[in-house]
Amino acid sequence: MRGEGLRMTRSLTFRATLLSIAIFALFVTVWQLATMGSGPTVPMDPEYAKLVGATASQGKSAMPGPLDVWLKVWEHLKNPFYDRGTNDKGLGIQLAWSIARVMAGYLLAVAVAIPTGFLIGMSPLMSRALDPFIQVLKPISPLAWMPLALYTIKDSGLSSIFVIFICSLWPMLINTAFGVAAVRKEWLNVARTLEVGTFRRAFTIILPAAAPTILTGMRISIGIAWLVIVAAEMLVGGTGIGYFVWNEWNNLSITNVITAILVIGIVGMILDQLLARATRLVTFPE
Amino acid sequence: MSEDKFISIEGISKRFPAAAGGLTTVFEDLWLSMRRGDFTCIIGHSGCGKTTVLNILAGLDASSEGTVIVDNQAIEGPSLDRAVIFQSHALLPWRSVMGNVAYAVSSKWRRWTKSEVERQSQKFIDLVGLTGAEDKRPAELSGGMKQRVGIARALSIEPKILLMDEPFSALDALTRGTLQDEVRRICVETGQTVFMITHDVDEAIYLADRIVLMTNGPGAVFAEIVDNPLPKERKRTDVHKHPLYYGVRNHIIDFLVSRSKAFAAEIEGRGYDRRRVPVVRPGAPEPVIAADTSMSGPSLSDLKQELIRGRA
């Protein structure tokens, strides 16, 4: 029975992988066909054709094809950390800047949101008192804070960290408060009958019981932070993957833009998977 | 005298604000005392307030009026002196069997080293027959094993009183029987004072020294205390052969079926004193009131005196 079940899952995984590869192949083929040149448009002098470029002479799309992108990706992979001045840095350096900013803002938000969430979850008074503030602040687009941050902090790098902080705060705060408030009464009663003090109760009962919910909030937050950093860096400029995208748009290097989009997706997926794994670690079966 | 009143429930009431305004009285002016080493069961229909009485004893709930005195001290909130075995076992699912018991042990003896805590925990894990399952998580245990952990956890802190809220009601009949045997064995061996809630008549007769009959709510009262005539040494396989077993059983079932509803009418004009709940020792075929309130005093025979245990 068990072997059969295993074989079924294995064949399902196998078929799913096969299908994924097929979809990818189809996508690449369509992409290639759509961007391919249609041959010489009008007869012209080869020297002149070289001058006007493939788009005009061969009817080739301005959009790069999959092969162009792959060559670009390969080029970046071979040399990710070069630095040839302000507007020409390796993809690795730009990513490192973005990840560092996200981490700084995110960890700051963790440090604020989890203790505050505990307070709100444990005290109905604080919950009621802080609720209107949270309800008003939560729906504000993090980028709306940018001018205010730039004006008060007077540093574009720190301002983008602040924007990350503010956008990561709410999901973690709300999930922590909810997780803490929803700890089963019977577990709290166990602590009460054992005369466990407030601090020990917070760390030995409430924290482990609320951990899965808190980690889920942290996972939502890292996702949002990674979404927002690209936009924030486009605004403040200087360094980072968001700035890279905007800079390459100004250079009209669509190949680089597509490469950056791909990389942003992959890094976002890795961040999400890390938090998903952490969530699984603290989840307890009942 | 104070040995007779190791636990003394003195005039406790519980009222809730009713939906339509005003107050709902769950129970009112309850009086009961228990001796050290006694196994007392409360039996009554759901909703009569048994669990509230137990929670007040545990300190998890506060009474609207009245006090509970344990070992000459009025209780104020929960205490390590009073261990609770919860109906839903209430194990911490992220801790192992050892972790759950050790959590209680290290809460009681905060300065103990890890090895001292583990030695004490192991002793009680062995006592409830879970040797070898120390590293299992609650999710990997059967219902009966979970409740064993709950029992080990409660006993490991060596409480003055063990409070049990229908501890076996969620278990299948076979497991329930085995666990009842073990709880009885452990409690008799250690002389543990136990207060237990149940709605199972046979369980009450098998386990308890005294069975308190509680009427239906709202406004529930303790109607009678049944003094269990079974000997202290009893076996599950033999209890029903005791000549008085069916007398006791029928008396309790009669109470649950009819008298628990109509108790107010029954005591009308009879001068029922809430502070002196009558102690009865039902025999076959008719239950006899061994001690009526109006008869209490020096005129009673020695035998009757013996039966009025647990009184002021």
Neighbours of B213 (CB within 10 A): 24
Q: What average pLDDT does the segment A55-65 reach?
A: 77
- Any CB–CB contact under 8 A between A186 and chain B? yes
The CA–CA distances, whole Å, from A75 to A64, A78, A92, B112, B226 equal: 15, 5, 12, 62, 90
DSSP B220: B
Closest CA to A167 of A123, A102, A82: A102
Shared domain for B102 and B186, answered yes or no, is no
Is A72 inside a domain boundary? no
Domain assignment present for residue B77? The answer is no
pLDDT tens figures, B239-269: 888 888 888 898 899 889 888 888 877 877 7
Domain edge (last residue) among A22, A47, A63: A63
Give A178 to chain B, closest Cα distance, Å. Answer: 19
Q: Which residue has the tokens 């839903």?
A: B88
Q: Which of B88, B103, B139 sits opposite A186 (nearest CB)?
A: B88
In a domain, B70, yes or no: no
**Average pLDDT of the segment spanning B132-140:** 94
Band (pLDDT 50/70/90 cuts) for residue B174 is confident
Q: A54 and A117: one domain? A: no
Domain identity same for A54 and A185: no
Which has more confidence, A242 or A87? Answer: A242
> Does A285 contact B137 at a Cβ distance shorter than 8 Å?
yes
Residue A2 vs residue A118, higher pLDDT: A118
Note whether A199 contacts B: Cβ–Cβ < 8 A: no
How many domains are there within chain A? 2
| Residue A188 is assigned to a structural domain of this protein | yes
Range of the domain at A36: 2-63
CATH number for A154:
1.10.3720.10
What is the predicted ipTM?
Answer: 0.83
Q: Are residues B278 and B214 in the same domain?
A: yes
pLDDT surpassing 60 at residue A283: yes
pLDDT higher at A50 or A12: A12
Please check whether residues A51 and A181 belong to one and the same domain: no
**Is A17 an interface residue toward B (CB < 8 Å)?**
no
Residues of chain A positioned with their CB less than 8 A from the CB of B170: none
Mean pLDDT value of segment A79-99 = 89
Is residue B293 domain-shared with residue B225, that is, in the same domain? yes
- What residues in B contact A194, CB-CB < 8 Å? 78, 80, 103-104, 107-108, 157
Does the CB of A195 have a partner CB in chain B at under 8 Å? yes
Q: Is residue A141 part of a domain?
A: yes
Tell me, yes or no, whether B169 and B240 share the same domain: yes
Range of weakest confidence among A12-21, B187-196, B293-302: B293-302
- Mark which of B158, B177, B208 sits at the end of a domain: B158
pLDDT of residue A67 exceeding 60 = yes
Q: Is residue B73 part of a domain?
A: no
Q: Which of A36-40, A45-49, A179-183, B200-204 has the lowest mean pLDDT?
A: A36-40
Q: What CATH number should be reported for the domain holding residue B272?
A: 3.40.50.300
pLDDT tens-digit readout, B69-83: 999 999 999 999 999
Contact residues on chain B for A208, CB-CB shorter than 8 A: 92, 94
Would you state the pLDDT for residue A203?
93
Q: How far A106 CA lies from chain B's nearest CA (Å)?
A: 27
Interchain CB contact of A285 with B (< 8 Å): yes
The tokens describing B144, both together, are 């009966």
User: At which of B121, B141, B158 does a domain end?
Assistant: B158
Q: Within an 8 Å CB–CB cutoff, is residue A187 touching chain B?
A: yes
Cβ of A186 within 8 Å of Cβ of B103? The answer is no
Mean pLDDT across chain B, nearest whole number?
86
Same domain, B153 and B221: no
| A47 interfacial to chain B (CB closer than 8 Å) | no
Partner residue opposite B90 with nearest CB, options A189, A200, A204 = A189
Q: Give the chain B residue whose CA is nearest to the CA of A194.
A: B80
What tens digit of pLDDT does each residue of B59-112 get?
A: 999 999 999 999 999 999 999 999 999 988 899 999 999 999 999 999 999 999
- E strand spans, chain A: none
* pLDDT beyond 60 at A105: yes
DSSP states of B244-292 as a string?
THHHHHHHHHHIIIIIHHHHHHHHTTTT--TTSPPEE---SSS---SB-
Domain that holds residue B172: 7-60+161-307
In this structure, are A201 and A256 located in the same domain? yes
